[in-house]
Chain A
Amino acid sequence: MSFTFIRTGHPEAAVAGKSARRIRSVVRRIVREPLVHFLLLGVLIFVASALSTKHRDNAAQRIVIDKKLVVHFITLYEAQMGMPPSRSQLDGMIDDYVREEVQFREAKRMGLDTDDEIVRRRLASKFAFLQRDLVAVPEPPAEELQHYYDSHSNDFLQPASVTFTHIYFSPDHGGDAVAYSRAEQALTKLQSRAVTRAPELGDRFPLQTDYGDVQRLDLLQQFGGSPIVEKAFVTPTKQWAGPVRSGYGWHLVYVSHREEASVPPLKQIQDKVRAAYVEDMKEKANKAKYDALAKEYVVERAYLR
């Protein structure tokens, strides 16, 4: 809308001049009318807003594929496939990205990210992930470590282990009963001598003759869950015992040393205890951090009313 001032000055306009004067005063009244000012302002604001929205919309419709993004696609592909993508493969990846980006923006415009369980969870876990382990756990002082070790000693329990040697009697030479009696005879011979190792009194054993510091699980795999495994862990030390059966035949066993299941002294497992302590402290710090955040929120359990 524009205002044109009506020029007068022609003789024909004498009459027109009189009506022109009347028109001029009407116009002057209009121009001074506050309502008109408001209308004008409204129009101006409407136009300005329409123009700026169009500009914003244009920006929102712009999807920029810059060099950085393309390099990123290439690197990702190379890492997976061990070679750079072909031109058509790259174009395909860019097309996929554009499609996803359009869909993403449209989804946001429609407000699809609100009230969506999956989006909510992803954002929450992203936050949790970024917050985790931000706390640097300081080196624990000696008494702290000692205290942790004392209160968590069961976590560091070492299973029982045993050191022993044995003599083997194979049923392949004459049968099971013969092997047993040979073992018995060897035992009588041994008990009259102070001998701590004598594999030559029996048959050649295809696996180990001497076992150092082995645990129940190791013996289980060697001998397959036969009586010799238990025997090694209960028989009195420093004397020959048997004959005891294994899946391979008969044995005499001499246990020289046995460690019961125990918690090693702190000095021996310092690193392990320290690592467990640090892990524990991190868990506590993460929890404390969450608690501090949660305190800022008021939870109103409306469902209980």
Chain B
Amino acid sequence: MKTSLAYLVSAGLLFSLAACTNKSSKLTPEATSQSASNRRPANPLRNAYFGDTHLHTGLSFDAYILRTNTRPNDSYAYAKGQPVNYLGKTEQRKVPLDFLAVTDHAEYLGALPMTADPNSPLSKTDWAKINDNDPAVSAAAFKKIITGVLSGRADAQLNDPAYSKAAWQQVIDAAEKNYEPGKFTTFIGFEWTSAPLAEGKKPQNLHRCIIFRGSKVPPAVYSAFDSPDPELLWTYLENARKTGDDVIAIPHNGNASNGLMFDTKTLTGKPITRDYAERRMANEPLVEIAQGKGQSETHPLLSPNDEFARFELWETLVGSPARANFKTGSYVRQAYGVGQELQEKIGANPFKYGVEAATDFHSGISSTEEDNYPGSHGNQDNDPKLVLSQRESIGGEPPITVGVEGLTGAWAEENTRESIFAAFKRKETFGTSGNRIQVRFFGSWNYPADLIKQSNWVKAAYVGGVPMGSDLPAGASGAKGPVFAVWALKDPRMGNLDRIQIIKVWTKNGNSHEKIFDVAWSGDRKPDPKTGKVPAVGNTVDLKTATFTNTIGATELSGVWTDPEFDPQSYATYYARVLEIPTPRWSTIWAVKYNLPLNDKMGNTIQERAWTSPIWYSPTPK
């Protein structure tokens, strides 16, 4: 039959394509190279595993245009600590990661590389101009593609599902091949790149990364061309769960959403309902609070009392020099308050997000080590001279603005898909600005003040309370405030810790407020009697050599803190933020390494940090 012939031929092509990209023809997970005794035994009190949940290789249309040569197998090799060729140079992490999800754009997935394949019909189209050596020609073609993607109009040639399906199989095969249960976890995923245009063709970021728990995934991805509306994306996820493994969507770059990400209306303009709120939280347990294009925790103008709020800010829309409107709906801390305001009205909180962080690098390598960063956007930011002198860009912010952030920390029993994905679902995760800072955060009504001094305190904390990402159990009415235990350990390679703060966002009768409490800090500093704030830790950074010394700060910090302003009638969100001492920013390290003047648009030093998932309090018991 001619039909079955066509399908067999396609199957044959797919398999031969897969064979082209992988040396081994094995499509099943490799047996772990460790003997049973080498594999780290499961820890019921959970270990912190660090990974990247947002990364683009040359399979993504924009990364390919930027001449990124890597593919998913390279990404996993780099994360595991192996050397990888990026733009002709060898790059290698100093310390490997524990897990990685490669999330190439669903839009035109795998199509752009075909413009360079003489056997593909795409190489005979105008799109092949992308590969032109004349930067003016390739830039014009790039602009055409980007405009199309941003306006949601798919080009029929590039959007041929054959390319997408073949590339999706490559993504799946690479994840399967590189998964080593107990040693290194891979997650199959992609990015849904929705950016509805506001007036004046301004793209408003609503992107989400889709992360699958296992390998039973749909045969096709879901792109913004299918729909830019998150509610339809959730339908795709719900269908995927019916026929295969569990899957979640993780939104990012609220800072570039022009107020849409945490809007009180849906994309179609309707007010948020209880159903919508519950559906959103069922599909999206976590939010990416920091990444290369800035952090979305808060902005100095929204949090004027937060002296640490000016950190890795990205203030334009993505792909546009227009400033983002961020007064509402853009930053997570404010959204926690708005979510509680909605909960008062409709009975459910649509922004009850756990927290994680990732890179969104378009290099195919998760180079989150501040002193080991080769650029992250292909030929746009690999020339130090250009990067350190550039203060503007057609794509929005200039490359100096990109931060070497971030990583997701997950508290899981072992390094497997099941264990780490379960941590995602119960929100026992935290985000960091790229360093391997470990932080634990627990809440209870009756922790003793010396909890953390006890010998097996972590077990006592789990037994007597709830970890990050949870709701406080209903407390006795009129009880004194909840007690929180927080602990953090520095990244052994990086700066000491300055302090741990607990940030509280509370809501009553439609009004929200925020306050920051310093809970633990290094040295013998005393809080200012007037402001209650602990003074700055100091600064050991030498700008001439881009080095620092750990003569200030602490290796480990911990504290047990009771909310002194607890109001049982108010909704409250509590989360912990850990700050390191100042260390040189990557741009400062580049300036010294390449003997170029400093570019201080983003400051020369930063205080790296971690943010935990919150613990929530609701006045009416659930």
* Contacts A212-B37, A248-B555, A249-B555 given; does A220 touch B96 at CB 8 Å: yes
The answer on a CB contact under 8 Å between B492 and A272 is no
| Known contacts A158-B33, A213-B38, A275-B31; 16 further A-B pairs (Cβ under 8 A) | A79-B243, A81-B239, A122-B12, A125-B13, A126-B12, A128-B12, A170-B555, A172-B554, A172-B555, A176-B550, A213-B37, A214-B40, A224-B491, A225-B94, A225-B95, A247-B490
Chain B's closest residue to A205 (CB) is B556
- Does B538 lie at the interface of the complex (its beta carbon under 8 Å from any beta carbon of A)? no
The answer on a CB contact under 8 Å between A224 and B38 is no
Range class of the A interface residue count: 35 or more
Which residues on B sit within 8 Å (CB–CB) of A80? 218-220
Closest Cβ of chain A to B10, distance in Å, is 8
The answer on a CB contact under 8 Å between B555 and A123 is no
Q: Could you mark each residue 96-121 of chain A with 1 if its beta carbon is under 8 Å from any beta carbon of chain B, else 0?
A: 01000100100000000000011001
- Does B531 lie at the interface of the complex (its beta carbon under 8 Å from any beta carbon of A)? no
Which residues on A sit within 8 Å (CB–CB) of B550? 171, 176
The answer on a CB contact under 8 Å between B95 and A221 is yes
Rounded to whole angstroms, the CA-CA distance of A217 and B455 in the bound complex is 29
Interface size on B (CB < 8 Å)? 47
Which residues on B sit within 8 Å (CB–CB) of A256? none
- Does A194 lie at the interface of the complex (its beta carbon under 8 Å from any beta carbon of B)? no
Closest Cβ of chain A to B407, distance in Å, is 13
Closest Cβ of chain A to B247, distance in Å, is 12
The answer on a CB contact under 8 Å between A129 and B15 is yes
Closest 7 CB pairs of A and B: A247-B492, A82-B239, A224-B492, A126-B12, A224-B493, A125-B16, A129-B12
Chain A's closest residue to B34 (CB) is A215
- Does A264 lie at the interface of the complex (its beta carbon under 8 Å from any beta carbon of B)? yes
The answer on a CB contact under 8 Å between A82 and B242 is yes
Which residues on A sit within 8 Å (CB–CB) of B94? 224-225
The answer on a CB contact under 8 Å between B81 and A118 is no
In chain A between 248 and 264, which residues have their CB closer than 8 angstroms to a CB of chain B? Answer: 248-249, 264
- Does A237 lie at the interface of the complex (its beta carbon under 8 Å from any beta carbon of B)? no
Closest Cβ of chain A to B93, distance in Å, is 10
Which residues on B sit within 8 Å (CB–CB) of A101? 2
Among A82, A248, A268: residue with most chain B CB under 10 A: A82
Chain B interface helix/strand/loop/mixed: loop
Residue numbers of A with Cβ under 8 A of B are 69, 72, 79-83, 97, 101, 104, 117-118, 121-123, 125-126, 128-130, 158, 161, 170-172, 175-176, 204, 206-207, 212-215, 217-218, 220-226, 246-249, 264, 268, 272, 275, 279
- Does B263 lie at the interface of the complex (its beta carbon under 8 Å from any beta carbon of A)? no
Chain A's closest residue to B81 (CB) is A217
The answer on a CB contact under 8 Å between A272 and B2 is no
Rounded to whole angstroms, the CA-CA distance of A215 and B436 in the bound complex is 20
Rounded to whole angstroms, the CA-CA distance of A248 and B554 in the bound complex is 9
- Does B119 lie at the interface of the complex (its beta carbon under 8 Å from any beta carbon of A)? yes
Q: Can you list 17 A-B contacts (CB < 8 A)?
A: A79-B219, A82-B239, A82-B242, A83-B239, A104-B2, A118-B120, A121-B119, A125-B15, A129-B12, A158-B35, A175-B551, A176-B551, A206-B489, A206-B556, A217-B96, A221-B98, A248-B492
The answer on a CB contact under 8 Å between B554 and A126 is no
Rounded to whole angstroms, the CA-CA distance of A212 and B37 in the bound complex is 8
In chain B between 89 and 108, which residues have their CB closer than 8 angstroms to a CB of chain A? Answer: 94-96, 98
The answer on a CB contact under 8 Å between B555 and A223 is no
- Does B197 lie at the interface of the complex (its beta carbon under 8 Å from any beta carbon of A)? no
Rounded to whole angstroms, the CA-CA distance of A210 and B281 in the bound complex is 40
The answer on a CB contact under 8 Å between B9 and A72 is no
Which residues on B sit within 8 Å (CB–CB) of A218? 40
The answer on a CB contact under 8 Å between A247 and B218 is no
Rounded to whole angstroms, the CA-CA distance of A248 and B496 in the bound complex is 9
The answer on a CB contact under 8 Å between A170 and B556 is yes
The answer on a CB contact under 8 Å between A264 and B35 is yes
Chain A's closest residue to B12 (CB) is A126
The answer on a CB contact under 8 Å between B12 and A82 is no
The answer on a CB contact under 8 Å between A220 and B38 is no
In chain B between 1 and 57, which residues have their CB closer than 8 angstroms to a CB of chain A? Answer: 2-3, 8-9, 11-13, 15-16, 26, 31, 33-35, 37-38, 40
- Does B606 lie at the interface of the complex (its beta carbon under 8 Å from any beta carbon of A)? no
Rounded to whole angstroms, the CA-CA distance of A79 and B217 in the bound complex is 11
Q: Which of A171, A214, A217 contacts B555 (CB 8 A)?
A: A171
- Does B602 lie at the interface of the complex (its beta carbon under 8 Å from any beta carbon of A)? no
- Does B240 lie at the interface of the complex (its beta carbon under 8 Å from any beta carbon of A)? yes
Which residues on A sit within 8 Å (CB–CB) of B26? 279
Which residues on B sit within 8 Å (CB–CB) of A220? 81, 95-96
In chain B between 471 and 505, which residues have their CB closer than 8 angstroms to a CB of chain A? Answer: 487, 489-493
Closest Cβ of chain A to B411, distance in Å, is 14
Which residues on B sit within 8 Å (CB–CB) of A171? 550, 555
Closest Cβ of chain B to A115, distance in Å, is 14
Rounded to whole angstroms, the CA-CA distance of A117 and B121 in the bound complex is 11
The answer on a CB contact under 8 Å between B555 and A125 is no
The answer on a CB contact under 8 Å between A161 and B3 is no
The answer on a CB contact under 8 Å between A221 and B96 is yes
Closest Cβ of chain A to B12, distance in Å, is 4
Which residues on B sit within 8 Å (CB–CB) of A215? 34, 38
Which residues on A sit within 8 Å (CB–CB) of B81? 217, 220
Q: Which of B33, B34, B119 contacts A117 (CB 8 A)?
A: B119
Rounded to whole angstroms, the CA-CA distance of A121 and B119 in the bound complex is 9
Chain B's closest residue to A283 (CB) is B25
The answer on a CB contact under 8 Å between A247 and B119 is no
Which residues on B sit within 8 Å (CB–CB) of A175? 551
Rounded to whole angstroms, the CA-CA distance of A69 and B37 in the bound complex is 54
The answer on a CB contact under 8 Å between A122 and B13 is yes
Closest Cβ of chain B to A279, distance in Å, is 8
Q: Which of A97, A130, A214 contacts B38 (CB 8 A)?
A: A214
The answer on a CB contact under 8 Å between A247 and B491 is yes
* Contacts A121-B119, A172-B555, A246-B492 given; does A224 touch B243 at CB 8 Å: no
Closest Cβ of chain A to B525, distance in Å, is 14
Chain A's closest residue to B240 (CB) is A82
The answer on a CB contact under 8 Å between A225 and B38 is no
Which residues on A sit within 8 Å (CB–CB) of B2? 101, 104
Rounded to whole angstroms, the CA-CA distance of A13 and B438 in the bound complex is 127
Rounded to whole angstroms, the CA-CA distance of A56 and B551 in the bound complex is 92
Rounded to whole angstroms, the CA-CA distance of A212 and B8 in the bound complex is 51
Rounded to whole angstroms, the CA-CA distance of A220 and B43 in the bound complex is 19
The answer on a CB contact under 8 Å between A126 and B9 is yes
Which residues on A sit within 8 Å (CB–CB) of B487? 206
Q: Could you mark each residue 561-603 of chain B with 1 if its beta carbon is under 8 Å from any beta carbon of chain A, else 0?
A: 0000000000000000000000000000000000000000000
Q: Could you mark each residue 541-563 of chain B with 1 if its beta carbon is under 8 Å from any beta carbon of chain A, else 0?
A: 00000000011001110000000
Chain A's closest residue to B218 (CB) is A80
Which residues on A sit within 8 Å (CB–CB) of B242? 82
Which residues on B sit within 8 Å (CB–CB) of A221? 95-96, 98
* Contacts A225-B493, A226-B492 given; does A272 touch B3 at CB 8 Å: no
Which residues on B sit within 8 Å (CB–CB) of A122? 9, 12-13
Which residues on B sit within 8 Å (CB–CB) of A214? 38, 40
Q: Which of B12, B96, B220, B436 contacts A125 (CB 8 A)?
A: B12
Closest Cβ of chain B to A98, distance in Å, is 12
Rounded to whole angstroms, the CA-CA distance of A218 and B242 in the bound complex is 37
Rounded to whole angstroms, the CA-CA distance of A97 and B119 in the bound complex is 24
Among A72, A123, A206, A222: residue with most chain B CB under 10 A: A206
Rounded to whole angstroms, the CA-CA distance of A72 and B11 in the bound complex is 16
Rounded to whole angstroms, the CA-CA distance of A80 and B255 in the bound complex is 34
Chain A's closest residue to B453 (CB) is A204
Chain B's closest residue to A168 (CB) is B555
Which residues on A sit within 8 Å (CB–CB) of B455? 204
In chain B between 261 and 302, which residues have their CB closer than 8 angstroms to a CB of chain A? Answer: none
Rounded to whole angstroms, the CA-CA distance of A171 and B242 in the bound complex is 53
Rounded to whole angstroms, the CA-CA distance of A246 and B490 in the bound complex is 12
Chain B's closest residue to A226 (CB) is B492
Rounded to whole angstroms, the CA-CA distance of A82 and B218 in the bound complex is 9
Which residues on B sit within 8 Å (CB–CB) of A125? 12-13, 15-16
Which residues on B sit within 8 Å (CB–CB) of A72? 3
Rounded to whole angstroms, the CA-CA distance of A175 and B526 in the bound complex is 19
Which residues on B sit within 8 Å (CB–CB) of A226? 492-493
